Amino acid sequence: MKKRPIIIDTDPGIDDAIALAIALFSEELDIRLISTVAGNVGLEKTTNNALKLLTFWGKAVPVARGADRPLLAAPTNAEDVHGASGMDGYNFPDPDRSNLLTEHAVNAIYKTLNESAEKITLVPIGPLTNIALLLRMYPGVKEKIEAVVLMGGSVTRGNKGVMSEFNMACDPEAARIVFESGLPLVMAPLDVGRRALVHPEDAARIKSMGRTGEMIYALLQHYRSGDINRGLKMYDSCAVAYLLRPEMFEVAETYVAVETTGTLTAGTTVVDLKGYLKQRPNAKVCVDINGAVFRDWLLSALKRCP
């Protein structure tokens, strides 16, 4: 089977770790590069966490460090959700740093795209700072991008601001650059993540899946995005799920604008489902998900991890 080439831009992050596990052991995806960005925790920690995961699995995917702060917004974090390390709950061995590139993630992404014989799909599952910088520094690279399939935004209410989702709220200006880029965009917002749940019985099954399952189970004990008894939200795995099983989603092609100036609303994704703004659609928005299909898919995908 021909694998789909992707680059994952990430801020690990416990839900990022689960999304990376699924992507790294999928037979359908060819991960050309993992770029890191400040988000859930600072850049040193997100980079270390990406390296720790790759070392844990013995995967030699190149890693490139990206932006250590948003374009303009004040840095923030989600340590209350993921812990101070960004992946609290499991004591990873020191990471092998031999796959850490010296060049900045933006240049590494640019080089990877340019050297590829085929277009590559970008899969951002953190703030969009690196992607925005890429588009500003190398606008011509758009022709080498197949699509951008991202976790972020919300059709309804937020989880960082009243109306803004964390990844978009971290760097509203970067998000606006990406949504105005004209690139083929798929947005997996909070609205599907809130239904992409791991319940206690699922966590118990994950724990019995061996070394990766035990590690993920330990992380889930510290993950505060949801309540273990009502379900933990697998936000970032929704972006990977779209790549592999898009049929589990209900999708609306519509116009999405990113608010950047509102004192109370910066980072809000304004998803114009009814066309009030009279703009051409610029994104496929996942507006619903079959939660049972997602759950079965997640468990079977994690079972593939060693």
171 binds, among Ca ion, ligand RIB, none (CB under 5 to 8 A by kind): none
Residue 33: name its binding partner from ligand RIB, Ca ion, none (Cβ under 5 to 8 Å by kind): none
Q: Tell the residue number behind the tokens 């496929």, with chain if given.
A: 284
- From the list Ca ion, ligand RIB, none, partner contacted by residue 9 (C-beta under 5 to 8 A by kind): none
CA distances from 260 to 71, 158, 164, 240 (A): 12, 15, 11, 27
> What is the distance between the alpha carbons of residues 163 and 19, in angstroms, rounded to a whole number?
25
Phi, psi torsion values for 128, nearest 5 degrees:
-95, 20
The two three-digit tokens of residue 288, written as one number? 């619903």
**With binding defined as CB under 6 A, does residue 129 bind ligand RIB?**
no
Lookup result for tokens 């061996």 = 210
Distance CA 188, CA 278 (A): 23
For ligand RIB, which residue of 5, 13, 172, 231 counts as binding (CB under 6 A)? Answer: 13
Least gap, CB of 130 to Ca ion (angstroms): 13
**Sequence-ordered list of residues with C-beta below 8 angstroms from that of 233, at least 6 positions apart, any chain:** 15, 193, 194, 196, 197, 225, 226
Nearer residue to ligand RIB within complex by CB, 62 or 126? 126
Burial grade of 286 (CB within 10 A; 0-12, 13-18, 19 or more): buried
Contacting residue, 55, 87, 135, 165, with ligand RIB by CB under 6 A? 165
**Applying CB under 6 A, which of residues 51, 67, 78, 105 lies at the interface with ligand RIB?**
78
- Kindly tell me which residue out of 46, 49, 112, 159 binds ligand RIB, with binding defined by CB under 6 A: 159
Instruction: Out of 5, 66, 86, 126, name the contact with ligand RIB by CB under 6 A.
Output: 126
Of these partners, ligand RIB, Ca ion, none, which one is at the site of residue 56 (CB under 5 to 8 Å by kind)? Answer: none
Would you give the end-to-end CA distance of the chain in angstroms?
21
Q: What radius of gyration, in Å, describes the C-alpha atoms of the chain?
A: 18
Q: Which residue of 11, 191, 202, 259 would you call a contact of ligand RIB, by CB under 6 A?
A: 11
Q: Which of residues 216-245 bind Ca ion (CB under 5 A)?
A: 236
Closest CA to 233 of 151, 306, 302: 151
User: In 3-state terms, what secondary structure has residue 1?
Assistant: coil
Ranges within 105-144 binding Ca ion (CB under 5 A):
125-126
Encoded one letter per residue, x for contact with Ca ion by CB under 5 A and - for no contact, window 162-191 reads ------------------------------
- Write out the residues near ligand RIB by the rule CB under 6 A: 11, 13, 15-16, 39-40, 78, 125-126, 151, 159, 165-167, 235-236
